[in-house]
Amino acid sequence: MATIDVKCRFCNQTEQVRKYGTNPRGAQRYRCFDCNRTFLLDYAYEACKPGVKEKIVDMAMNSSGVRETGRVLKVGYNTVLRTFKKLTPKQVTTIPFDIAHIELICEVDEQWSFVGKKKNQRWLWYAWEPRYKRVIAHVFGKRDSETFHKLQRLLLPFTIPIYCTDDFKVYSSYLPRENHIIGKRYTQRIERTNLTLRSRLKRLVRKTIGFSKSEEMHDKVIGTFIEREFYH
């Protein structure tokens, strides 16, 4: 009798996969005793199919909204939200500049956005290394010294002899004068990156109906984009 090896959809193993009863609709279930996960070969609901959760995130990274994503992928609104809530973006680059003791030049700027309504401002602060074209670290918050201190703490492991900023008073108050260069001509590249972010993510566009409804979703979607594009 011919046999068919069933591959685990989670770890791709075949040797430890066994039949594991049926679901309420009568479809055959399988269990992988290597990774201890249960799965079906075919799912009635689109969101359960392999690769759909990754597509949800990919669409968000290309400026698609929650409802738009649900319509295209034929999944529920809450499924899209739950997928976003599981995102855990890093706030600091994974490139080992600190371990290699590489001296960095950081352009620092804050980018305006809002959550729910324009009065509820949510600022993206980040440090940009123009030579490597990478974000070193980012934070979200108000346009004040407290948020800037959060960014400074993330930058502590790195060797940064030069900071380039505009004339916003927070920078001149807390950055050492001997390491600080002020002027729009020295922040042209981070301003260009701001434009790139606005072009790719409508949550950052000044006049948009595709804004975030919660700070959690706002921070996770934008943070995941930065992690994917600029932290590797």
Contacts of 176 (CB under 8 A, 6+ apart): none
Topology of the domain comprising 97-231? Nucleotidyltransferase; domain 5 (3.30.420)
Q: What is the pLDDT of residues 55-100, one digit of tens each?
A: 999 999 999 999 999 999 989 899 999 999 999 999 999 999 999 9
Domain ranges, ordered by start, for the chain = 1-44, 45-86, 97-231
Q: What tokens were used for 188? A: 């042209």
Distance CA 227, CA 187 (A): 21
Query: Which range (42-51, 111-120, 131-140, 214-223) has the least confidence?
Result: 42-51
Does 50 or 134 have the greater pLDDT score? 134
**Under 8 Å between Cβ of 23 and 161:** no
Beta bridge partners of 111: 124
* pLDDT for the residue 44: 61
Chain-centroid distance, C-alpha 202? 14
Query: pTM of the prediction?
Result: 0.84
pLDDT at 20: 85
Band (161; pLDDT cuts 50, 70, 90): very high
User: What are the angstrom distances between the C-alpha of 224 and each of 2, 4, 50, 87, 230?
Assistant: 46, 39, 21, 7, 10
Return d(Cα 165, Cα 213) in angstroms, integer: 30
Pair type for strands 123-129 and 28-32? unpaired
Q: Please report the pLDDT score of residue 200 as a whole number.
A: 94
pLDDT at 3 over 70: no
Residue 136 has pLDDT above 70, yes or no: yes
